[in-house]
Amino acid sequence: MTLIRHGDTGYPVEAIQRDLARHGLDLAIDGVFGPATEAAVRRFQREHGLVIDGVVGRKTRRALTQGDDPKALRQIDLVGAAETLEVDLAAVMAVNEVESRGVGMHHGGPRNGEPVILFERHIMRRRLEHHGVSPVEYERSHPSLVNAKPGGYIGGHREHDRLDQAAYLHPTSAIESASWGLFQIMGFHWERLGYRTVGDWANAMAHSEARQLEAFVRFIEADRALHRALKEHDWRDFARRYNGPAYAKNDYDTKLAAAHRRHSHDLERAA
């Protein structure tokens, strides 16, 4: 679903305004996402414990039309993450906006309620070797699951099908070879991040977006340089360390800086 935010116009905005009015928020139904509509969205998000960013994404839209999602990330979760990391709330909100995929759980379909994942076949090959298992036979019989080259993605909920197939080959390597949840953290980090077993990691990722955020907090705490970059709002260094050398191509640093400025301003205004 396309994000709908301040400055947008047309029928999608009008539909959101009607949903907001249905929830008791008084505003004009004019199809213009102006200050009044943004204020109404923020009030709705606050009342329903959602992330308060004034933007209508999938989770806000879902709450408007279907009710609250117990697995959805909430503002109080971001507050807790900021306190744990000893950084300002706007910084955590900026990272959540830019670095997360916006949705950590599948909604609807055969994988409803399961975490969003992306299975990496080249990582599966490495993890098999890490566990003392030769990948050669599997590369021949299952090249879409075990391969020296990245790729083979089928996307969406079907990535779980790939994970399930890989688990028949080697369950631990399969879980370690997927990126999980809102922040798409690779499963092979589980031990470094303090999870007791790889199964505990997978269960945490399936529990809720709040637990996925907790994994992200652990990921930041485990890297002093990354943590320092976040504290100091050094978005270029943060993006380089979190996203790798492709960060500049995708403008992650400028997007993070812009999101931080906007959230800082909004939080000050709300206070």
Query: Would you list the domain boundaries of the chain?
Result: 1-68
Q: Please give the pLDDT value at position 224.
A: 97
Whole-number average pLDDT of the chain: 93
Q: Please give the pLDDT value at position 248.
A: 86
Q: Mean pLDDT throughout 116-142?
A: 97
Q: Mean pLDDT throughout 7-24?
A: 92
**Residue 154: Cβ within 10 Å count:** 11
Helix ranges, the chain (H): 11-22, 35-47, 58-66, 75-85, 89-99, 121-130, 136-141, 159-169, 171-176, 198-207, 209-221, 224-231, 235-243, 252-270
Name the amino acid, one letter, at 51.
V
CATH superfamily, domain at 1-68: PGBD-like superfamily/PGBD (1.10.101.10)
Q: Does the pLDDT at position 225 exceed 70?
A: yes
Integer Cα distance of 174 and 159 in angstroms: 12
Q: pLDDT tens digits, residue range 48-84?
A: 989 999 889 888 988 898 888 889 899 999 999 999 9
Q: Does the pLDDT at position 199 exceed 70?
A: yes
Question: Which residue has tokens 């070797």?
Answer: 129
Question: Which residue has tokens 């100091």?
Answer: 232
Least confident piece of the model among 93-97, 205-209, 224-228 = 93-97
Contact predicate 137/130, CB 8 Å? no
Q: Please give the pLDDT value at position 1.
A: 54
Contact predicate 51/78, CB 8 Å? yes
- pLDDT interval class at 145 (50, 70, 90): very high
